[in-house]
Amino acid sequence: MIDPLRGSIPDVRSNHLLVAGFTSAALLLALYSGFHFHLLVLVLFAALVLLALRLPLTTCVLLLLTGVIPSVFLEIPGFPEEYGLLGWGVRAVDIVLVAMVGAAVIHVTTHGVGNKGLGLSSLLIAFGIWLSFEVARNVMTFGLSAFGEFRFRYLIVILPVYVGMFFRSSKDRRLLLIVLIVASLIIPVLSVPLIGSLKGWSFGVDSRFFHASVSLGIVAGFLSLVLARRYKLVRFPGAFYWPISVLAILMVLVDGHRSVWLFTAVCFLTLLVWREVPWRPVLGFVIALIALSGVLIVFSSSSLVADFFDYVVQRNQAFLDPQLDPTARWRIGIWYTLLETIIQSPMLGEGFGGYWFIIVPGIGEITSSPHSLYIQTLVKIGAIGLVLYMAIVVKVFSILKRALRRVEAMKGDSVLVFIGLMVLLSAHAYYFVYAFEYYSCFFVGLGMAAVSGRHSRMDQ
């Protein structure tokens, strides 16, 4: 297939020669000027970019090890929240993400975006330019903090782009799916005995096993495993499948993250709309949960069981009357106070670097994020930034939905496309009360990679 953009894209060899020339000049200048430490850092970063270019699966595993899997143990008393911190506010996972940015830029420069990806690529470039503007406008005021806050809040958006760009073969996508199921589902579930023994076997708002993002990963990993196993995309022994599934569902219920319950509800709604609900396994899970509840009633004290059911009912209060729930009331107070900040600069936002410091009437000083991606985006990059981001979301949803419409039977890569669409919709319900997290970015990127891989095969 002839690409109409090919004539406007520089030859791959000339690009390589140009990059090599500039790199050689920079290295010679650094050596001559005595910047040996900076040169070492540059060489190490270049090696990481090369790794991201040549070994995308290894790069994703490295990101999981440095920034995602350690969060499984955040609720253990004494576990450092700043895990992976290298110094100067930089985390190991940030370097991996920046390497992904470098690899993506090199790939687009040398290969182009192609005819089919032009619409989405234009939106991504526009959003990237807008983020850069929001950083640059505050550099004189906040210095490196402008880069730091951007890195902390929005650098993660490169992850689905990178996955969608570099996982072009079915084998690589299947391997990444297995890695994600292990990281999001198997490792957290198998860690429950360790976490329980170190933090105690109590449950409640102040004694959870997992952070909300980890619980979300458990749900996404579990549903991905159900679909992949149903359509023979992966093999998983039933002897392990059922115990892990029951324990995963129980932990999501016990931890009581209502944001994750909302994510789960949208997932099941998507499954119902696409008629992908496997009724027999669902019935099996319900029976298993009823049996497990019966065991708890028999072998536990009646007060413990009563406390558990009271806890579940209490966690649902926020859906009915937010003012009765302290957490919901806290969030609403922050959002209402931030409306004044949004009104002051509705289109541009305040930019990056100021982080968060607000005084909420009746609550006091708040230095954390507003726990809502949409409020956060309006405050930091304004309505223009939010519109650009939502345009990207709508475009990705359209691409995934259109790809599923062309599928006669769910199998192979079409399963990954559906998982990506399901997680995309559910994550943006979760984002009403939280910001970006890694698991949804991975699964959405994997769905886009499946679409890109199919287009690549059609072109060939």
Q: Which of 16-20, 135-139, 166-170, 202-206 has the lowest mean pLDDT?
A: 16-20
pLDDT of 436 > 90? The answer is yes
Element (H, E) at 95: helix 92-111
Classify residue 21: in a domain, yes or no: no
Distance between CA 22 and CA 304 in Å, rounded? 68
Residue 12: predicted pLDDT: 44
Residue 297: predicted pLDDT: 53
pLDDT of 460 > 70? The answer is no
Q: Which domain holds residue 374?
A: 68-91+110-276+316-459
Classify residue 446: in a domain, yes or no: yes
Classify residue 37: in a domain, yes or no: no
Q: What is the mean pLDDT of residues 299-307?
A: 52
**How big is the chain by its Cα radius of gyration, in Å?**
23
Give the relative orientation of helices 92-111 and 12-33 as an angle to the nearest 10 degrees. 140
Classify residue 299: in a domain, yes or no: no
Q: Which of 36-50, 293-307, 349-363, 416-430 has the lowest mean pLDDT?
A: 293-307
Q: What is the helix, strand, coil percentage profile of the chain, to 5? A: 75, 0, 25
pLDDT of 459 > 50? The answer is no
Classify residue 77: in a domain, yes or no: yes
∠ CA 166-176-439, nearest 5°, is 95
Give the confidence band of 258 by pLDDT, cuts at 50, 70, 90.
confident
Residue 89: predicted pLDDT: 76
pTM of this structure: 0.85
Distance between CA 220 and CA 426 in Å, rounded? 9
Distance between CA 427 and CA 444 in Å, rounded? 10
Classify residue 295: in a domain, yes or no: no
Distance between CA 335 and CA 333 in Å, rounded? 6
Report how many domains make up the chain.
1
Give the confidence band of 290 by pLDDT, cuts at 50, 70, 90.
low
DSSP 208-228: -SS-HHHHHHHHHHHHHHHHH
DSSP 30-77: HHHHT-HHHHHHHHHHHHHHHHHHH-HHHHHHHHIIIIIGGGGGTTST
Classify residue 304: in a domain, yes or no: no
